[in-house]
Amino acid sequence: MNEILANSSIYKNYQTVIPKNVRKEFNVTENTVVEWIKNENGELNIKFRKKVTLKDVVGMIKKEDDIQDDWDIDRGVYLNE
């Protein structure tokens, strides 16, 4: 069953405010991305996710020693260590 948590209005330039109770329940901060998703029934779903920053991805990139061949080195991303 669907539950209405809150209502908000659309303002000039199509802006809106995410109500306080929704922000608290879903941990919405200034670094949150709002995804507008159309499901298979044509209904709109809204999902909140954390914005990915450079700090989040540091360490996910392979170090030069882990690169397998010259081709990977030529197109690889290098970190200043």
Q: What is the pLDDT of residue 17?
A: 95
> Tens place of pLDDT for every residue, the chain, 81 residues?
788 899 999 999 999 999 999 999 999 999 899 999 999 999 999 999 998 877 777 777 666 655 555 555 445 555 444
Please report the DSSP string for the chain in residue order. -----------GGG-----HHHHHHTT--TTEEEEEEE-TTS-EEEEEEEPP-HHHHTT-SPPGGG--SHHHHHH------
Report which of 14, 21, 17, 48 is spatially closest to residue 34, judged by C-alpha positions: 48
Q: What is the pLDDT of residue 76?
A: 52
Domain chopping of the chain, boundaries? 12-75
Q: What is the pLDDT of residue 81?
A: 44
Question: What's the CA dihedral at 80, 52, 10, 13 to 10 degrees?
Answer: 20
